[in-house]
Amino acid sequence: MFHSQFFIIFLSISSLFISSKGDPENGEFISLFNGKDLEGWVNVNCAPETWTVRDGMIICTGIPTGVLRTTSQFENYILELEWRHLFKGGNAGLFIHSDAITAPGQPFTRSIECQIMDGNEGDMFAIHGARLTPDNEDPFEKVGWMRSFPKEKRMNPTGEWNQYQVVSKDGILTLAVNGEIVTRGFHLNPRKGYICLESEGSEIHFRNIRIKELPGSNPPPELIAAEDMGFSSLYNGLDLRGWKVERNSSWKSDNWRLVCESGKTTQALLTDKEFKDFTLIVDWRLTGDQKINKVPVILGNGKQAEDDRGNKLYVPIIDAGEADILLRGNENLAINITSWPVGSGRILDSDKNTLAIPVFSNDNPPGKWNRFEITLIDKKLNISFNGKPIIENIQVEDLPDKGPVGIKYEGYPIQFANLYIKEL
């Protein structure tokens, strides 16, 4: 009895890893790429010319670093695609179970990556908050990595086509390279999400992308990737198209980052387009030299604290500088980025008077990435900072009905990334 049950269980598990080509004629597989254009795909954070179609192939220049994703999420399936690198050492990837937009301070999404690197194909690993249990012979190899290494190398020489077959079923993942399974991973989280192609520094071609969906398991929300909420990117990763650039501006495009490292005066970079009501996502980090500085102690009413004699109080801090985010192009509504203990997210007018302060400081240390999610409807403002609400239902007066979004350099080196907007 025991041996019979064991045999049945063995067959059930083994069936997950059978490399099945399916039968295209009976409609088991459907194409994810029509060979003519990018219908069914979303350019998440790259320039229009990064992803193009030619001769039945998706052509990726590799610049900037970023992703192209499907418009639909998938859970259990067999996915097949072909790819080729044109240059030795070329890098790219296939992401599965991906969020809709990129992770804070990253050009890539939270997802499971199947590595597509020339000479290093077949790795499988969790990135930016995703999780998996790797299937490695030596569990002490790279302890702490959620990375499963291939059992053998099966890539064709540079310039030739290779095929990947990915089988995702109930949180178990297998990857076959050119017809043989080389990598497995278990306990995937998320286990449902978007499929992405990765741009990472060099030209790569994709073709024959097709999928056969398998019965789903109805996973709970915590195992499903974040869905598309209608955000579009304000920055293309290549240049400052879509932004008003002052003459001799110090703002520069640095791949997926927008940077300002120096400048003689404060400089604002404003979008060409004007917006009325919207939710804005902005990632940023202060990158200047840190120094000890005394700064005002700000009270909950926005005023500076004083001692019993009326002397204004200051406190020493490790200071990395400040910057501002402008809404509707108006400096009467600047969201302050700062090293001050009061925390980033303070709302300032054009005279630097404090209109509102965050309910608590939620800044990451200088040099680390932070994420604002800012919602402005009419004159009402809400701000979430690193996943926590810090400004709620603040009424802001003296504000135009619409205007551009801006980022303002205040004399300290700063980097911005992942600027997304959703008009409401």
Instruction: Say if residues 20 and 78 touch (Cβ distance below 8 Å).
Output: yes
Query: In this structure, are 214 and 180 located in the same domain?
Result: yes
The first and second tokens of residue 166, run together, are 């990915």
What CATH code is carried by the domain that includes residue 139? 2.60.120.560
Are 246 and 113 found together in one domain?
no
Beta bridge partners of 422: 279
pLDDT in tens, 47-77: 999 999 999 999 999 999 999 999 999 999 9
Tell me the average pLDDT of the chain. 91
Clarify whether residues 46 and 21 are in a common domain: yes
Which residue, 212, 228, 244, sits at the end of a domain? 228
Tell me what pLDDT residue 263 has. Answer: 65
Phi first, then psi: give them for residue 79, nearest 5 degrees.
-115, 130
Question: Do 311 and 204 lie in a common domain?
Answer: no
Q: Which has the minimum average pLDDT: 263-272, 305-314, 341-350, 396-405? A: 263-272
Residues 210 and 265 in one domain: no
Q: Where a domain ends, among 175, 200, 228?
A: 228
Q: pLDDT digit string (tens) for 224-282?
A: 999 999 999 999 999 999 999 887 788 999 999 999 987 666 788 999 999 999 999 99
- Give the structural domain span for 248: 233-423
Considering the domain architecture, whether residues 269 and 412 belong to the same structural domain is answered as: yes
Query: Smallest Cα–Cα separation from 105: which of 419, 418, 424, 421?
Result: 418
pLDDT exceeding 70 applies to what percent of the chain? 93
For residues 311 and 175, state if they share a domain.
no
Q: Are residues 268 and 408 in the same domain?
A: yes
| pLDDT tens digits along 71-126 | 999 999 999 999 999 999 999 999 999 999 999 999 999 999 999 999 889 999 99
| Helix extents (H) in 353-402 | none
- Based on the fold, state whether residues 162 and 85 are members of the same structural domain: yes
Q: Look at residue 25 and tell me whether its pLDDT is greater than 50.
A: no
For residues 211 and 248, state if they share a domain: no
pLDDT of residue 1: 42
Domain boundary among 177, 200, 228: 228
d(CA 256, CA 108): 10
Confidence at residue 332, expressed as pLDDT on a 0 to 100 scale: 77
Residues 29, 189: Cα–Cα separation, whole Å = 25
How many domains does the chain divide into? 2
How much is the pLDDT for 330? 80
On whether both 34 and 138 belong to a single domain, the answer is: yes
Of the ranges 27-36, 140-149, 410-419, which one carries the lowest mean pLDDT score? 140-149
Same-domain pairing of 168 and 260? no
